[in-house]
Structure 1
Amino acid sequence: MDAESAKDLVRRGYDALSARYDDSYQGETKYEAWIQELLEDLGEGSRVLDLGCGSGLPVARALVSAGHRVLGVDISEVQVRRARELVPQGEFVRADATKLELPSASFDAVVSFYALIHIPLNEQAPLLQRIAGWLRPGGRFVGTTGHDAWTGAEENWLGGEVPMWWSHADAATYRKWLERSGLVVEREEFVPEGDSGHTLFRARRE
């Protein structure tokens, strides 16, 4: 599958199952700890980029509730529309993250949960380099990646009769990509999920 076809499959999947995705995963308590730790690192009124923001829940809502300014980006028009309704204090745009144009050193933090893994593998390292460039010195990156290398699709995603597609490298490769981007990896932890899992990285720009 070529890159644009894969992205279109991801977009259509989230357009179709935006609400079902929230129903399936909003009970995940792991988000609370991840968000709380980020909040402790942020100064008052920080500017945060949420890449793959989904419907704005729970990340963007928690950040704006704490007084931070959030720009959320998602490839799904339905997700962005719902985010604008659910988190009216945030700013949300529909865009392909790999084609996003933003000023350098303009964010205090970039958050990306379960979004990089929906991007074609050869576009992920360049995106991480751009993320590093969007961060101000001392800025934070918090994101999830693959733990083991895998590319594939699921035909009946979330039982909704629509397909979904993923592609990710292993954790060691993501660590290398982050470091090559100029980010200092402060912590890396395995996040178990079912029979497999993902990796959560916390890093900062020097």
Structure 2
Amino acid sequence: MKDQLELAQNIIEIYKKHARAWTELRGQFLYEKAWLDHFLSLLLEHSTILDLGCGSAKPIAAYLIAQGHSVVGVDSSEVMIEMAQENFPEQRWIQADMRQMDLGQKFQGILAWDSFFHLTQDDQRAMFSIFQKHAQPGVVLMFTSGPSHGEAIGDLFGDALYHSSLSQEEYTQLLNDHGFQVIKMVAEDAECAGHTVWLAQKF
């Protein structure tokens, strides 16, 4: 078995390799809708949302766009970005690694759904400064994590898929340290395919 760090470093290559197959597997069913609606309810109309790990832009970015918002999507996979550009050419799609991202733009909403939890624990800690750098006052941040501190290895078409999580206490502290207040958090939400979701706002 490869060590955890090597598996973590391989995430980008896995999503490049399986981009189209994963997109087909993911499908269009929006099981995240209740969370996305809560996220959007905290935004002004016609906000600009940063979608980290945007994939093909379907179904999540598509839903945000349909509600009248603009999306700037970031993904490390050029195939994902190509699909997003094909799907929504009027939006902005950027191939980049979120860990080294500096877009020179601030956003009303930041979303890292099913992407942030592929980073190592140290990389996750460092992301809060990147969130803060791209945040307008009052920004709404939503991300998914694991339910507790640890690492886990999943599977994507036969390739080992790395995940990690900090503790709920540490996420709360990191959010507070960067000026965010937790609005809602549910661990392993049974109504959202078992996702652990954080919704926070910067006041």
1:172 aligns with one of 147, 169, 172: 169
Amino acid corresponding to residue 139 of structure 2 in structure 1: G
Report Cα offsets for 1:121-161 as digits up to 9, x if no partner: 1121221122023111111001111112222434xx23x23
For 1:191, the equivalent position in structure 2 comes to 188
Measure the CA separation in 2 of the matches of 1:2 and 1:164: 10
For 1:146, the equivalent position in structure 2 comes to 146
For 1:1-206, list aligned pairs within 5 A. Answer: 1=3, 5-6=6-7, 8-26=9-27, 28-103=29-104, 106-154=106-154, 157-158=155-156, 160-192=157-189, 197-206=194-203
Equivalent pairs: percent with the same residue?
Answer: 25
Shift in alpha-carbon separation, 1:20–1:150, aligned structure 2, 3 A: farther
Shift in alpha-carbon separation, 1:101–1:32, aligned structure 2, 3 A: same
Question: What runs of 5+ residues in structure 1 fail to find an aligned partner?
Answer: none
Measure the CA separation in 1 of the matches of 2:46 and 2:29: 26
Measure the CA separation in 2 of the matches of 1:143 and 1:127: 11
Q: How many residues align?
A: 199
Cα deviation for residue 87 of structure 1 reads 2.2
Measure the CA separation in 2 of the matches of 1:84 and 1:162: 27
Amino acid corresponding to residue 83 of structure 1 in structure 2: A
Cα deviation for residue 116 of structure 1 reads 1.1
Secondary structure of 2:58 counterpart: coil
Report Cα offsets for 1:66-107 as digits up to 9, x if no partner: 221211011112111111112223211111101001336x11
Measure the CA separation in 2 of the matches of 1:22 and 1:192: 23
Measure the CA separation in 1 of the matches of 2:170 and 2:58: 29
The TM-score with structure 1 as length reference comes to 0.86
RMSD over aligned Cα, in angstroms?
Answer: 2.2
8 Å CA contact 2:48–2:107 kept in 1: the answer is yes
Secondary structure of 1:89 counterpart: coil
The TM-score with structure 2 as length reference comes to 0.87
Measure the CA separation in 2 of the matches of 1:63 and 1:56: 10
Secondary structure of 2:169 counterpart: helix
Question: What runs of 5+ residues in structure 2 fail to find an aligned partner?
Answer: none
Cα deviation for residue 192 of structure 1 reads 4.1
Shift in alpha-carbon separation, 1:88–1:18, aligned structure 2, 3 A: same
